[in-house]
Amino acid sequence: MAFNGFTPATIQFLNDLKENNYKEWFEEHRSVYEEELVKPFKELIASLTPTMYNIDPQFELRPHRVLSRIYRDVRFSKNKDPYKTCLWMSFQAPTPDWVNIPGFFMELNADMYFYGMGLFGPKKKTMDNLRDSIVYDAKEFQAQTQKILDRGFVVYGDEYKRLIPSELPEYFQTWVQRKNLYVGKNLPVNEDVFSPVFADIIREDYESLVWLYEFLKDE
């Protein structure tokens, strides 16, 4: 299952879905969805699987579990459109509630793609432990994470409304003042997306995040 890139038809389908988000249209275009969106995503997952196994043999690697569903669970969403207008993959070690563990991700929509790694649903104790670990070896943390920022990654996560007391220098505040924490690259759809090289770009950037993955995993 060689990954040859997504296609303009992939992006066209996602654009059309935004304008036709109802069951009848989707069923009429299901073959396009399967061929232009699901198939290349699964090929990308297969291409990355050896790398992800080397990063963590505990990762869930079955494509149907790595790839998100396009169906929206409208029971818990203010948006009642039946279909999501993006698809994403996520590599994580299985746990009962999928929280407190870091994972790698890549999301594609009609305009942008976003990929990276981090903690999305950590409990307060996990983030408290993370802050303690940063304090314990702040010099090493800064040295390693600066390499990540130098590659173009940005720090994301929900920020606290009231700052947590911290004596760490300014560099660390963007890391410690968050309820969850992840790094990512948010980029407009470009020619890379339509090329086999896209898998290599994602692979190399994922590998650059291994130190931070292990750091977060230890919490």
| pLDDT of amino acid 25 | 98
Which pair of structure tokens corresponds to residue 177? 């003042």
pLDDT, averaged in runs of 10, over the chain (219 residues): 94 98 97 98 98 97 96 84 96 80 96 97 92 96 98 97 93 96 98 98 98 93
Q: Tell me the H-state helices in the chain.
A: 8-19, 23-28, 30-33, 39-55, 63-66, 124-136, 138-150, 170-176, 197-208, 210-217
| pLDDT of amino acid 97 | 66
| pLDDT of amino acid 118 | 97
Type of residue at 207: E
Which pair of structure tokens corresponds to residue 135? 């304090």
> CA–CA separation, 173 vs 63, rounded Å?
37
pTM for this one?
A: 0.94
| pLDDT of amino acid 100 | 81
| pLDDT of amino acid 17 | 98
Q: Which domains does the chain have, with CATH numbers?
A: 8-217 (3.30.930.20)
> CA–CA separation, 4 vs 10, rounded Å?
13
Which pair of structure tokens corresponds to residue 58? 């505990």
Transcribe 26-42 into DSSP letters: HHHTHHHHIIIIIHHHH
